[in-house]
Structure 1
Amino acid sequence: MKLTGAEIVIECLKEQGVDTVFGYPGGTILNVYDALYKHSEEIRHILTSHEQGAAHAADGYARATGKVGVCMATSGPGATNLVTGIATAYMDSVPMVAITANVAVSLLGKDSFQEIDIAGVTMPITKHNYIVKDVDKLAETLRRAFLIAKEGRPGPVLVDITKDVTANMAEYTPEKPFSVERSIYNIKNADLEKAAELINHAKKPFIFVGGGAVISDAARELKEFVDKVQAPVGDSLMGKGAFDGTDERYCGMLGMHGTKASNLGVTQCDLLVTVGARFSDRVVGNPSSFAKHAKVVQIDVDPAEINKNIVVDASVIGDVKEVLKRLNPMINAKDHSEWIAHIEELKQKFPLKYDKDVLTGPYIMEEIYRITNGDAIITTEVGQHQMWAAQYYKYKKPHTFITSGGLGTMGYGLGASLGAKMGKPDRTVFNIAGDGCFRMNMNEIATAVRYNIPIIQVVINNHVLGMVRQWQTLFYGKRYSHTVLNDAVDFVKLAEAMGAEGILVTKKEEVAPAIERAIAAGHPVVIECQIDSDDKVFPMVPAGESIEKAFDQDDLS
């Protein structure tokens, strides 16, 4: 059948099983929005307040569901406003397709109104991108974009379509989506055997879990692996929920704001098994002293990550779930009770702790955990509140902690919470923000109200840029250069002005009632929690130092 390019876009989205799109219309993409209007019962479109919010919402949708998130924008500033969201998805390996429209082919390269080479702009931050100038190639390009976004190590793909292509006619034949096979072609028996040999001979193994284990849905295989190896488990920010945070063998996050138990465990182990993690600088600290007594085994889908940041003794390349399926039968069940007991002593000696007498970020997170029984989806912005959310909420399942890890994008979480709630409408969704982050994209509260998306926005308001201030306090002689936000902004009134419910919390005893009220509300709620400006995230490792040098308030005192 003959269809316009715009109609082909919509039909291809339907082919791929897309039920929700986040975006913002404009001149060059009007044909696509006109076609979308006729299919509003099949594809729900969420009009965000800003294109960046659309990109973050598509990202959050993808992380919560495991499906490809989709966002759309017009040319020029519409397209460039997606860039931060695309880069965020790229750094954290999130499957996303961003569809933009550009000026007509005849106007390309002429500095036309709202013309931008968005394919060129996004080349370094996409897994692949396309500019479509021929309507006959449109359907094939879109189908391939979804395949590339999903296969192997996932990531964002941009498809830029000229406006004349959206108007031109072409023959369209429906097709089934490409089947996406798990990446197994690089899994070598020799690599599995070498890894198994090192694991079977280890006396003090430690298992480090990253985001790859979440992406591949390897939680069951990972638990079987841990049960056989009988080792303590730490995770990265992106790995949370892949291994049950309530398990007695779990000892917390690793790295700059990781627990002392995890950091010392890695430093003292004789074998570090890394499952779907890339040895980020925030995890490793000083590479020369990282896991200095250990041999290192790395399991990762991306060959480029092997020996990139840390030189390893063995590696297995492939989808984490598939690798563990093959590796588990090769592992002899072990009894490392003495080593586990030593790690337990470290956990007891160096627990996470905070001032219990006043209202703090950790207390708020513990109350959210208690009231939700750990069954909520938590999204975050970036900063101190993000670390408290990672440290004090126990993530029992994958896809329940959604945060910007690699790029560290302030303003990410609110849009991501909208996407997560759209993807998982039966789950309670909290976005945890600092006052600095919330200011960046707080206009998406209006989006939540427009569609009655009942997310719960918690603003941990310390009237400063908390994490930057923490660094200024510890390393910059308390020179608080442009980090104080002590102004007259009232977030409760702002919430109410946008149509949401606002709740102010200034005391510990007000936290639980506010959370319970927000969960019961059935509409968007903003909870502003006012804490002290000098609260800090501990433990902490100075940048570039060995992770065993993690310190806390007691060490400073």
Structure 2
Amino acid sequence: MPRMTAAAAAVEILKLEGVEQAFGVPGAAINPFYRELKNVGGIAHTLARHVEGASHMAEGYTRAKAGNIGVCIGTSGPAGTDMITGLYSAIADSIPILCITGQAPVSKLHKEDFQAVDIASIAKPVTKKATTVLEAAQVPGVFQEAFHLMRSGRPGPVLIDLPIDVQLTEIEFDPETYSPLPVYKPSATRAQARKALQFLLDSERPLIVAGGGIINADASDLLVEFAELTNVPVISTLMGWGVIPDDHELAAGMVGVQTSHRYGNATFLESDFVFGIGNRWANRHTGYNLDAYTKGRKFVHVDIEPTQIGKIFAPDFGIASDAKAALELFVEIAKELKAEGKLPDFSAWAASAQERKATLLRRTHFDNIPMKPQRVYEEMNKAFGPETRYVTTIGLSQI
């Protein structure tokens, strides 16, 4: 059996799990890991100017392409505490990132040693799991479990804290026999899918609410296909924005407070059935008056995380399922129903949503001096076109 340091084994596992890029800032307690990152090779590293920045870089890297998992690395103490904001952002938006921190020697952890902060306890509320590894032989298993957790169910971040003596300890590890753990994702049954679609068949003014779970599942094409098959308008949540093009005839805008459209809210209030897929009914979407949001309409909720079903309000029917697995069934059954002539004609309802979209637009053209921000954005859109992406550092600009 090959022998290597626990830090070298950890780097080998990162490569075998598909990691190609890491972000971070070196420091004394994590330098053994950095040395192995260089010696083993195969993983690019971007030096951040601040460890909190590294955590956000890792999150952005994960978001940029399906299948990525961003990794951020820092030393003991302040590096871990600086990562907390990035970890909170990642868990709130269901983004898998792996944070690796250095730590004081195991024997010093409870002696108020220099920078020997209990980062695992601090990070626990904002991660799927946070672990300080006390035995070098456990390093391969802890890293293997981390990738399993990040990819299974509702995605999210994991933190692994490595005492410096654990990193330096030699262990037996054979990269050639390593294999990632199978990813667990619940799947809807055909019976569940048929029952969910029965709500659609029984409605007159249905809406699909498309959440970020559809993006995580790489199922945007399936969502659009399902919407087109059924001719049902689609409301995107903030995390689901982009699953259907904004100029698609079935794109009905966004709902809620702040990041919403007048026409989206108006269409929602006219609906009698809401088909939520991969969303979590966040209060930016529902607003604070749940009675106004739920009154007069029925709900089906599909989410990969079972504990999300009924968390905000009780749906009429809930399904714990990966969005892609559910949408595959919805598309299959919708095709069967269409062939049998059993799909209702929602064309008039879809047309009314488009009419609201064309008439209930937020005003942007102002001649005021000083110039209003709405006019600034109007001119920016004219100058740069629809494919330009903007990044802001304050929420009010987005709103």
Letter in 2 for 1:348: A
Task: Classify the secondary structure of the residue corresponding to 2:253.
Answer: strand
Gaps (5+ residues) in structure 1? 388-557
Alpha-carbon separation, structure 2, partners of 1:102 and 1:190: 50
Change (3 A) 1:246 1:99: same
How far has the Cα of 1:195 moved from its partner? 0.5
How far has the Cα of 1:193 moved from its partner? 2.0
Alignment of 1:302-313 (within 5 A): 302-313=305-316
1:277 counterpart (275, 279, 283): 279
Letter in 2 for 1:188: T
Per-residue Cα deviation, 1:78-106 (whole angstroms, up to 9, x for no partner): 11111110111011100111111111011
Question: Are 1:298 and 2:310 matched, yes or no?
Answer: no
Q: Identity of counterpart residues, as a percentage?
A: 32
Question: Are 1:341 and 2:355 matched, yes or no?
Answer: no
Partner residue in 2 for 1:255: 256
Alpha-carbon separation, structure 2, partners of 1:193 and 1:16: 37
Alpha-carbon separation, structure 2, partners of 1:280 and 1:248: 25
Alpha-carbon separation, structure 2, partners of 1:141 and 1:291: 43
Task: Classify the secondary structure of the residue corresponding to 1:38.
Answer: helix
Question: Are 1:62 and 2:74 matched, yes or no?
Answer: no
Is 2:365–2:374's contact at 8 Å kept on the other side of the alignment? no
Alpha-carbon separation, structure 1, partners of 2:213 and 2:6: 36
Letter in 2 for 1:308: K
The 10-residue stretch of structure 1 (6-15 or 97-106) with the greater mean CA deviation from structure 2: 6-15
Per-residue Cα deviation, 1:196-244 (whole angstroms, up to 9, x for no partner): 1111222110111111111111111101110122122111111111111
Change (3 A) 1:360 1:147: farther
Letter in 1 for 2:152: E
Task: Classify the secondary structure of the residue corresponding to 1:344.
Answer: helix
Is 2:211–2:278's contact at 8 Å kept on the other side of the alignment? yes
Change (3 A) 1:70 1:177: farther
Letter in 2 for 1:152: G
How far has the Cα of 1:379 moved from its partner? 4.3
Alpha-carbon separation, structure 1, partners of 2:254 and 2:356: 14
Partner residue in 2 for 1:208: 209
How far has the Cα of 1:263 moved from its partner? 1.1
Letter in 2 for 1:339: W
Alpha-carbon separation, structure 1, partners of 2:391 and 2:321: 28
Alpha-carbon separation, structure 2, partners of 1:153 and 1:379: 26
Letter in 2 for 1:189: R
Letter in 1 for 2:270: Q
Change (3 A) 1:207 1:18: same
Task: Classify the secondary structure of the residue corresponding to 1:249.
Answer: coil
Alpha-carbon separation, structure 1, partners of 2:84 and 2:191: 42
Is 2:71–2:100's contact at 8 Å kept on the other side of the alignment? yes
Change (3 A) 1:106 1:182: closer
Per-residue Cα deviation, 1:251-303 (whole angstroms, up to 9, x for no partner): 21111031122112221111111111111112112001114221111111111
Alpha-carbon separation, structure 2, partners of 1:79 and 1:261: 44
Task: Classify the secondary structure of the residue corresponding to 1:244.
Answer: coil
Partner residue in 2 for 1:384: 396
TM-score, scaled to structure 2 = 0.91
How far has the Cα of 1:356 moved from its partner? 4.3
Per-residue Cα deviation, 1:25-73 (whole angstroms, up to 9, x for no partner): 1111111112223345x21111111110000000000011121110011
How far has the Cα of 1:350 moved from its partner? 1.1
Letter in 1 for 2:351: A
How far has the Cα of 1:372 moved from its partner? 6.1
Letter in 1 for 2:333: M
Alpha-carbon separation, structure 2, partners of 1:139 and 1:372: 49
Alpha-carbon separation, structure 1, partners of 2:360 and 2:136: 62
Letter in 2 for 1:385: S
Question: Are 1:232 and 2:233 matched, yes or no?
Answer: yes
Alignment of 1:240-251 (within 5 A): 240-251=241-252
TM-score, scaled to structure 1 = 0.66
Partner residue in 2 for 1:105: 106
Question: Are 1:288 and 2:291 matched, yes or no?
Answer: yes
How far has the Cα of 1:355 moved from its partner? 3.1
Partner residue in 1 for 2:146: 145
Per-residue Cα deviation, 1:486-521 (whole angstroms, up to 9, x for no partner): xxxxxxxxxxxxxxxxxxxxxxxxxxxxxxxxxxxx
Alpha-carbon separation, structure 1, partners of 2:374 and 2:72: 34
How far has the Cα of 1:176 moved from its partner? 4.6
Is 1:234–1:262's contact at 8 Å kept on the other side of the alignment? yes
Alpha-carbon separation, structure 2, partners of 1:371 and 1:102: 50
Alpha-carbon separation, structure 1, partners of 2:297 and 2:31: 58
Question: Are 1:178 and 2:190 matched, yes or no?
Answer: no
How far has the Cα of 1:148 moved from its partner? 0.8
How far has the Cα of 1:382 moved from its partner? 3.7
Change (3 A) 1:365 1:33: farther
Is 1:95–1:149's contact at 8 Å kept on the other side of the alignment? yes
Question: Are 1:351 and 2:364 matched, yes or no?
Answer: no
Is 1:269–1:291's contact at 8 Å kept on the other side of the alignment? no
Task: Classify the secondary structure of the residue corresponding to 1:290.
Answer: helix
Is 2:206–2:273's contact at 8 Å kept on the other side of the alignment? yes
How far has the Cα of 1:335 moved from its partner? 2.3
Letter in 1 for 2:95: V
Gaps (5+ residues) in structure 2? 339-343
Change (3 A) 1:233 1:46: same
Partner residue in 2 for 1:484: none
Alpha-carbon separation, structure 1, partners of 2:182 and 2:62: 16
Letter in 2 for 1:106: S
RMSD: 2.0
Is 2:144–2:181's contact at 8 Å kept on the other side of the alignment? no
How far has the Cα of 1:130 moved from its partner? 1.5
Is 1:21–1:58's contact at 8 Å kept on the other side of the alignment? yes
Alpha-carbon separation, structure 1, partners of 2:5 and 2:388: 43
Change (3 A) 1:24 1:264: same
Change (3 A) 1:318 1:369: farther
Is 1:21–1:71's contact at 8 Å kept on the other side of the alignment? yes
Alpha-carbon separation, structure 1, partners of 2:379 and 2:180: 44
